[in-house]
Amino acid sequence: MPVALLLVAVIGVVVIVGPVLALGVRVDWSQFWPVLQEDDTRELLAVTIYAAVQATVITVLLGVPLAVWISSSERFGARVVRLLVMLPLAMPPVVAGLALTAAVGRHGLLAPVLDALGIQFAFAFPGVVLAHTFVALPFVIVSVDSALRQIDREILASAAGVGMRPREILTRITLPAIAPAVATGAGLAFARSLGEFGTTLTFAGSMPGETRTMPIGIYLEREIDQDRAYVLAAVLIILAVLVFLAAMLPTLFAREHTPRPATITALDTGRMRELTRPASGGTGVEITTRGETTHFPAGTITALIGPNGSGKTTLAGLIAGRLRGAEVRVDGELVDGPARGDFVPAQRRGIVLLTQRPGLPRTATVRQAVTMATRDKELSGELLEAAGLADLADTPVPALSGGQAAQVALVRALGARPGVLILDEPMAAIDVDSTARWRRLLRATGGDRTTIMVTHDPVDLAGLSERVAVMQSGRTVAEVPTGELFALPPTDFAARLAGVNRLEGTVTISDAASVTVDVAGQEVVGSPSEDAPVPAGGTAPGTPAVVTFAPTAVTLVRSAGAADVGAGAGADGDGTGEAGRRDVGNRAPEVLSARNRWSGTVLTLDSTPADAGAGANVIVTVGLAEGVQLTTPVTTAAAVELGLESGVAVDCLVKATAVTVHPRLTPEPGTDNV
């Protein structure tokens, strides 16, 4: 900490503590016990403590529900209430007393009702309690509201997803999480009640033995015997310090959990499948947004892919009941629609959404967290054992590492036996070996339920999914079998994820053996697709077409117009040797056999694992025109030999036999992809 800042902090401490220490010096401590034993002092303490205790109980009973409502509601009215409940902190005590008098005084607005009920606040002990409640209530609300804001919303949403009802979430998750804040708020409220003076004096008066509290007694005593007033002040300060210490006990004794090593054993796929199989099997899901319906068939694993911001997480939230604004049907039943009565809450949908944040309650152990979903402690133990996580059963959730928490969250999600399981990249924090085990389980149980898998991982795409829904700009632009996605990606993003280069253009020449396509002014020659459906007009000249080819089919050479023409580098990363260094005409025969030669500029060079593309560990992205680009893997040695860097002009050589030309079937409104 900077010295100047430290000095300012010390000054702040002195401003607060200095006067208290000065008061301690002025107190005649020899008179402390005698004054404390006097009847008048005991009477003052009794009124003060009784009022403070009752006011504190009332503030907790009123403040906690009010704070929960303010925190959970997104309405404008809740934000206004959050502001209004702070008013007693800013109001002068006399004004607060006058406000209470105007409301419930002997001639207040509610006086006729109170008189009929035989209730008297003004100049009576209940008035002291009411005055203390009025000034102390904001302390409870502020403390609890602040704690509620710090609770991870994923914890509450996850609890609803596994079937916990609002009352269960409140009593088993929310209240245990905010218990220290409730204790702190109650302590602050009690201390504020002990020190309350102006509001009480204005509203309830100073009647000995009934409404005269310690602060009022000290104020009156200082006019008669200042030394005795100092002693009474010391009594009040000591009492307040004791209250603060009691309120801080939950925080002082709170344990700091740190992740610990644990033995994770083999995952029993068969046993896990048996324990987590839904009673009714998978349920189909249909969601309609912007007039377009996306289908997720029952008993199928569907990958949901798209670039960041394309709406994947929003779509998952709409299906799971975390968001509203779409027409959603689960097994044909409408669970969300245009009418307010159509909405079925998340806990009643049988849909579990698991995100990258595990959403485990931090006040529970692993076994308790899983039991919240299974509602069976013994079943939870069996699940953890079958998942190889039995060693973590009694571990507090805060003591879990990221990978451990992610695996426990998977067990918890499956333990709820959902008919629909939505996975929004929940295995991002799990190590490679454990990820492989969970992939095997998900693959084996895919037919038991409907699985929607949000992913950017080609391994998940190829190894798990049976269907793929592709999103772009908030819309589902394609629903295709996984195999078709790899053969003909519907969007550029899907092509990159599938490891395929995809270009769009217009057919210029077409015959039985080859098709020539104009792509942004460059000529692309390839073979016509044999598997894709051919629309009217087929690949006749003038029709739109999509060109696909593998990144490994591309050979890079420095552009002939470059000052220093380098060797070529293909997918295997080797150059064309000395014969290819001087001019194009002397290049090796295998380079000359490539009918496609496109001029471009290197955009980026990215590293990739050494096993990507026959030993290649550099992915080169080349721009052929504005918005038109391709990628190819090369070795580091080839990248250095060619002098590849951003902005370098290169030629891309691809054999026509490696290029497939597909008819462009369906235009995508609002996008350039088809």
Q: Which stretch of 151-160, 295-304, 531-540, 552-561 has the lowest confidence by average pLDDT?
A: 531-540
3-class SS letters over 132-184: HHHHHHHHHHHHHHHHHHHCCHHHHHHHHHCCCCHHHHHHHHHHHHHHHHHHH
- HEC secondary structure over 63-108: HHHHHHHHHHCCCHHHHHHHHHCCHHHHCCHHHHHHHHHHHHCCCC
pLDDT(160) > 50: yes
- How many C-beta atoms surround the C-beta of residue 576 within 10 A? 19
- pLDDT (mean) for 243-264: 80
Report the residue count for the chain.
674
DSSP for residue 605: E
Compute the average pLDDT of residues 100-120: 92
Averaged confidence pLDDT in the chain: 87
Closest CA to 511 of 540, 490, 531: 540
pLDDT band of residue 1 (cuts 50, 70, 90) is confident
Q: Find all residues with CB under 8 Å of 577, minimum gap 6, and list them.
A: 567, 588
Residue 410, pLDDT > 90, answer: yes
Compute the distance between CA of residue 311 and CA of residue 576 in angstroms, rounded to an integer.
45
User: What is the C-alpha separation between 174 and 508, in angstroms, rounded?
Assistant: 66
- Residue whose tokens read 């209430």: 81
Task: Please report how many Cα atoms fall inside a 13 Å half-sphere around the Cα of residue 500, on the Cβ side.
Answer: 23
Spell out the alpha helix ranges (H) of 549-613. Answer: 589-592
Strand-pair category, 467-472 with 301-305? parallel
> Mean pLDDT, to the nearest integer, of 505-529?
91
Higher-scoring residue by pLDDT: 512, 610: 512
The terminus-to-terminus CA distance of the chain in angstroms comes to 58
pLDDT at 293: 92
* 185/366 Cα distance (integer angstroms): 29
CB neighbour burial string for 417-446, b if at least 16 within 10 angstroms, e if fewer: bbbbbbbbbbbebbeeebbebbbebbbebb
Residue linked to tokens 């973590």: 392
Say whether pLDDT at 519 is over 90. yes
Element (H, E) at 376: none
Q: What angle do CA 533, 539, 542 make, to 5 degrees?
A: 140
SS3 328: strand
- Give 592's pLDDT tier (boundaries 50, 70, 90): low
Would the pLDDT of 587 be above 90?
A: no
- For residues 307 and 301, give the distance between their C-alpha atoms in angstroms, rounded to a whole number: 20
Residue 256: the pLDDT is 76
pLDDT for res 570: 56
Cβ atoms of 441 and 277 within 8 Å: the answer is: no
Q: Is the pLDDT of residue 672 over 50?
A: no
Q: In terms of Cα–Cα distance, which of 291, 96, 115 is closest to 204? A: 96
Query: Is 100 exposed, middle or buried, given 0-12, 13-18 or 19+ CB atoms closer than 10 A?
Result: buried
Asked if residue 338 lies in contact with residue 288, where contact means CB atoms within 8 angstroms, the answer is no
pLDDT-derived band at 257 (thresholds 50, 70, 90) equals confident
In this predicted structure, what is the pLDDT of residue 72? 83
**Strand, coil or helix: what is 109?**
coil
Could you tell me the pLDDT band of residue 262, with boundaries at 50, 70 and 90?
confident
- How far, rounded to the nearest angstrom, does the alpha carbon of residue 95 sit from its chain's CA centroid? 44
pLDDT band at 138 (very low <50, low <70, confident <90, very high): very high
Give the model's pLDDT for residue 585: 34
* 242-246, 382-386, 654-658: segment of lowest average pLDDT: 242-246
Of the candidates 433, 366, 437, 429, which has an alpha carbon nearest to the alpha carbon of residue 399?
366
Give the pLDDT score at 463: 86
Residue 209 structure tokens:
């033995």
Amino acid, res. 513: A
CA 378 to chain CA centroid, nearest Å: 30
Please report, rounded to a whole number, the percentage of residues in the chain having pLDDT higher than 70: 91
How much of the chain, in percent, has pLDDT values that exceed 90?
Answer: 69
Axis crossing angle, helix 175-195 with helix 125-150, rounded to the nearest 10: 140
Task: Indicate the pLDDT class of residue 459, thresholds 50, 70 and 90.
Answer: confident
Euclidean distance between CA atoms 523 and 528, whole angstroms: 15
DSSP 461-494: HHHT-SEEEEEETTEEEEEEEHHHHHHS-SSHHH
Is it the case that residue 291 has pLDDT exceeding 90? no
The contacts of residue 152 (CB under 8 Å, 6+ apart) are 357, 359, 362
pLDDT of residue 560: 66
- Which residues in 367-449 belong to E strands, given as ranges? 420-424
Cα(650)–Cα(551) distance, integer angstroms: 15
Q: Which residue has the higher pLDDT, 279 or 41?
A: 41
Structure tokens at 312: 């994947």
DSSP state of 621: E
Residue 613, pLDDT above cutoff 60: no
Categorize the per-residue pLDDT at 668 as very low, low, confident or very high, splitting at 50, 70 and 90: very low
Question: So what's the pLDDT on residue 531?
Answer: 60
Give 276 or 248, the one with higher predicted confidence: 276
Helix, strand, coil percentages, rounded to 5, for the chain: 50, 20, 35
The pLDDT value given to residue 74: 74
Count Cβ atoms below 10 Å from residue 619 Cβ, excluding itself.
18
pLDDT at 568: 55
pLDDT, tens digit, 9 for 90 and up, residues 533-582: 444 455 788 899 999 999 999 999 988 654 444 445 654 444 333 333 33
Q: What is the pTM of this model?
A: 0.81
Structure confidence by residue, pLDDT tens digits, 483-509: 888 888 988 899 988 889 999 999 999
> Is residue 434 within 8 Å of 292, Cβ to Cβ?
no
Which range in 33-47, 572-586, 591-605 is most confidently predicted, on average pLDDT?
Answer: 33-47
Q: What is the pLDDT of residues 348-376, one digit of tens each?
A: 999 999 999 999 999 999 999 999 999 99
Q: What is the pLDDT of residue 270?
A: 93
